[in-house]
Structure 1
Amino acid sequence: MTTTFDVPLALTMQTNDTPWARDVLAPGLSIQLPVADIEGGFLVVNTRFAPGTVLPTHLHTGAVHGYTTKGSWHYREYGAASMNTPGSYIYEPAGSTHTLVASTEEVTEALFIIHGAFLNYDEDGNYVGHFDAAVTRKVYVDTLEQQGDEIPDFVIGGNCTYGRR
């Protein structure tokens, strides 16, 4: 069904067979990328953390919404007060800075909706790079190609359609 402007009302995708880009951003982090909307300035990413995965310290330029479905994780800076377990929802305001630490006991999975970019820092606090919708889209596609996986459809933004690049 389309509107009078021939734009689909909604897009649905099944992610069960979508390949995971492995070791993206940090060893042990795998991602699926349902949405990389460059024009809208946001991305939706399914994440899978191997036990003990630690992401680089990063600052968010926009708000982040997260929902944990498996395992557990917390922020190094906030300890147990930031523990996320299955069913946990987290809101991170723009400007929040933290280091995500996944459970050492089990695989952890969470879905994040990330607005803007996140700026990565090394252990000395030096800026080392960023991820936003454009960078994440490129890294996702490049990683899947290197792994020999087919590039799946994902929402690319700018209009309501699917794309592979």
Structure 2
Amino acid sequence: MNDQTTFKAPVFSLPQDELLTLNVNDVPVMKDALGPGIHFQPLLADPEAGVSAVIGIFSPGIVVSSHLHTGAVHGYTLKGSWFYKEYPDQVQVPGSYLYEPSSSMHTFCVPETNTEDTVVFFIVFGGNIHFDDEGRFVSILDAITIQNLVKSCAAAQGLDAVQYLKGGSAGYAVEKVKESARVSEPA
């Protein structure tokens, strides 16, 4: 509930002092973040909830290694086209909405014939576990990895701190008492 609410709802809600919003035009592109021609704009990275939202920008001909999703993914294509190597007849074009259930595995491909970058808005629950062509583990891409990629890309690109939304902070409901501060009663 916030101070602007005209009534008190008969349920509990998290306090919210402001609307958490971004304008994507104000979020810089993290260039070549996952390799040459694979860029992204971070919108949300919440490691505690295990969710991230990014705008992925892919150059023509890009192939993102095979990866397994530990959670569901929502994708909405804004520009360009792409497909999964495993489903070449299901090309995603502007206006395509894609839902990927948890535990799906595939290889992201952008046609070399594209004349422009492909731009996709993704909401990712959990992480992507990437493998090489022989099926060996390569990396994990999740919300905490995105937070660290933003830091390293911003430093490499000479950017100031990048504004994106992030989750809360885990902690104790009551401050933990240090062992040395406890008073023991005599026996």
Task: Please indicate, yes or no, whether the TM-score normalized by the shorter chain is above 0.5.
Answer: yes
**What root-mean-square deviation, in Å, do the aligned CA atoms of Structure 1 and Structure 2 show?**
1.7
Corresponding position: 1:132 with 2:111: no
Distance in 2, matches of 1:5 and 1:78, equals: 42
Provide structure 2 residue ranges, at least 5 long, that are not aligned to the other structure.
4-12, 170-187
> Following superposition of structure 1 onto structure 2, how do residues 1-165 of structure 1 map, counting pairs within 5 Å?
2-3=2-3, 6-8=15-17, 10-81=19-90, 83-104=91-112, 105=114, 106-158=116-168
Give, as a single letter, the amino acid of the residue that structure 1 aligns with 2:98: I
Distance in 2, matches of 1:146 and 1:97, equals: 31
> For each residue in 1:32-81, what CA deviation from the matched residue of structure 2 results, as whole angstroms up to 9, or x when unmatched?
10100111100001111111111111000000000000000000111112
> For each residue in 1:67-101, what CA deviation from the matched residue of structure 2 results, as whole angstroms up to 9, or x when unmatched?
000000000111112x1100000000111111100
Equivalent residue number for residue 163 of structure 1:
none
> For each residue in 1:18-44, what CA deviation from the matched residue of structure 2 results, as whole angstroms up to 9, or x when unmatched?
211111223211101010011110000
Do 2:154 and 2:162's aligned partners in 1 also have CA atoms closer than 8 Å?
no
Taking structure 2 as the reference length, the TM-score comes to 0.79
Do 1:52 and 1:101's aligned partners in 2 also have CA atoms closer than 8 Å?
yes
Please report how far the alpha carbon of residue 9 of structure 1 lies from its aligned counterpart in structure 2 after TM superposition. 5.5
Distance in 2, matches of 1:6 and 1:61, equals: 30
Question: Which portions of structure 1, spanning 4 or more consecutive aligned residues, are displaced by more than 6 angstroms?
Answer: none
Distance in 1, matches of 2:14 and 2:63, equals: 45
Pair 74,11 (structure 1): closer, same or farther in 2 beyond 3 Å: same
Distance in 2, matches of 1:39 and 1:135, equals: 13
Distance in 2, matches of 1:72 and 1:50, equals: 10
SS of equivalent residue, structure 1 residue 87: coil
Give, as a single letter, the amino acid of the residue that structure 1 aligns with 2:89: A
SS of equivalent residue, structure 2 residue 130: strand
Please report how far the alpha carbon of residue 150 of structure 1 lies from its aligned counterpart in structure 2 after TM superposition. 2.0
Distance in 2, matches of 1:152 and 1:25, equals: 17
Provide structure 1 residue ranges, at least 5 long, that are not aligned to the other structure.
160-165
Larger Rg: 2
Please report how far the alpha carbon of residue 146 of structure 1 lies from its aligned counterpart in structure 2 after TM superposition. 0.8
Please report how far the alpha carbon of residue 103 of structure 1 lies from its aligned counterpart in structure 2 after TM superposition. 2.8
